[in-house]
Chain A
Amino acid sequence: MLELPALGWQSIVIFVVFALSLLIATYCTYAERVIAAFLQDRVGPDRAGPYGLAQPLADAVKMFTKEEFFPSGANTALFIFGPCLAMITALMSSAVIPFGNVLEFGSNYFFLQGIEVNIGLLWVFGVVSLGVYGIMIGGWASNNKFSLLGAIRAASQNISYELAMGLSLIAVLMISGTLSLRDITLQQSVAGEWHFWNIVKQPLGFIIFLVCAFAETNRTPFDLPECETELVGGYHTEYSSMKLGLYLFSEYVNIFVASAVMSVLYFGGFNFPFQYELRDWLVSNQDWTLAGAQNLITILGTVLLFGKIFGFIFFFMWVRWTLPRFRYDQLMRLGWTILIPLSIFNILLTGGLITFGII
Chain B
Amino acid sequence: MQSLSNRAKQVEKKPMTLAERAYLPAIFQGLSITMRHFFMKKPTIRYPEEQRPFSPVFRGLHVLKRDEQGRERCTACGLCAVACPAEAITMVAGERKKGEENLYREEKYAISYEINMLRCIFCGLCEEACPKAAVYLQADKMAPPRFERDEFIYGKNRLVEPVSPDDRSKRGIQLTEEQAQQLRTKMDAQLA
Whether chains A and B associate is: yes
Chain A residues proximal to chain B, CB less than 8 Å: 35, 38-43, 46, 207, 318-319, 321-323
Give 1 or 0 for each of B22-45: 1 = CB within 8 Å of chain A CB. Answer: 001001001101110110101110
User: Which listed residue, A40, A41, A42, A318, touches B35 by the CB 8 Å rule?
Assistant: A318
User: Which listed residue, A35, A41, A46, A322, touches B30 by the CB 8 Å rule?
Assistant: A322
Cross-chain contact B44 with A42 (CB below 8 angstroms) = yes
- Taken together as a complex, chains A and B put the C-alpha atoms of A46 and B44 apart, in Å, by 12
Residues of A within 8 A of B33 (CB): 322
Cross-chain contact B42 with A41 (CB below 8 angstroms) = yes
Nearest A residue to B35 via CB reads A318
Distance between B16 CB and nearest chain A CB, rounded to angstroms? 13
Cross-chain contact B27 with A43 (CB below 8 angstroms) = no
Known: A207-B24, A322-B34. 10 other contacts (CB 8 A): A38-B37, A38-B42, A41-B40, A41-B42, A43-B44, A319-B27, A319-B31, A321-B34, A322-B31, A323-B27
Residues of B within 8 A of A35 (CB): 38
Within 8 Å of chain A (Cβ to Cβ): is B46? yes
Cross-chain contact B46 with A41 (CB below 8 angstroms) = no
Distance between B10 CB and nearest chain A CB, rounded to angstroms? 25
Distance between B48 CB and nearest chain A CB, rounded to angstroms? 10
Cross-chain contact A43 with B30 (CB below 8 angstroms) = no
Number of B residues, CB within 8 Å of A = 14
User: Which listed residue, A38, A207, A319, touches B38 by the CB 8 Å rule?
Assistant: A38
Chain B residues proximal to chain A, CB less than 8 Å: 24, 27, 30-31, 33-35, 37-38, 40, 42-44, 46
Cross-chain contact A318 with B34 (CB below 8 angstroms) = yes
User: Which listed residue, B24, B31, B42, B43, touches A318 by the CB 8 Å rule?
Assistant: B31
Cross-chain contact A323 with B30 (CB below 8 angstroms) = yes
Distance between A314 CB and nearest chain B CB, rounded to angstroms? 10
Nearest A residue to B29 via CB reads A322
Residues of B within 8 A of A42 (CB): 42, 44
Main SS class of interface, A: loop
- Taken together as a complex, chains A and B put the C-alpha atoms of A35 and B37 apart, in Å, by 11
- Taken together as a complex, chains A and B put the C-alpha atoms of A43 and B46 apart, in Å, by 9
- 10 CB < 8 A contacts A-B: A38-B38, A39-B34, A39-B38, A41-B43, A43-B44, A207-B24, A319-B27, A319-B31, A322-B31, A323-B30
Closest 10 pairs (CB-CB, A-B): A322-B34, A43-B44, A39-B34, A322-B30, A38-B38, A43-B42, A322-B31, A39-B38, A39-B37, A41-B42
Nearest B residue to A319 via CB reads B31
With A322-B31, A323-B27, A323-B30 as known contacts, state yes or no: A46 contacts B46, CB within 8 Å. yes
Residues of A within 8 A of B34 (CB): 39, 318, 321-322
Distance between B86 CB and nearest chain A CB, rounded to angstroms? 36
Nearest B residue to A35 via CB reads B38
Distance between B41 CB and nearest chain A CB, rounded to angstroms? 8
Distance between A39 CB and nearest chain B CB, rounded to angstroms? 5
Which among A38, A46, A207, A319 has the highest number of chain B CB atoms within 10 Å?
A38
Residues of B within 8 A of A39 (CB): 34-35, 37-38
Nearest A residue to B24 via CB reads A207
Residues of B within 8 A of A323 (CB): 27, 30
- Taken together as a complex, chains A and B put the C-alpha atoms of A35 and B44 apart, in Å, by 15
- Taken together as a complex, chains A and B put the C-alpha atoms of A60 and B37 apart, in Å, by 30
Residues of A within 8 A of B38 (CB): 35, 38-39
Residues of A within 8 A of B40 (CB): 41
Residues of A within 8 A of B35 (CB): 39, 318
- Taken together as a complex, chains A and B put the C-alpha atoms of A43 and B20 apart, in Å, by 34
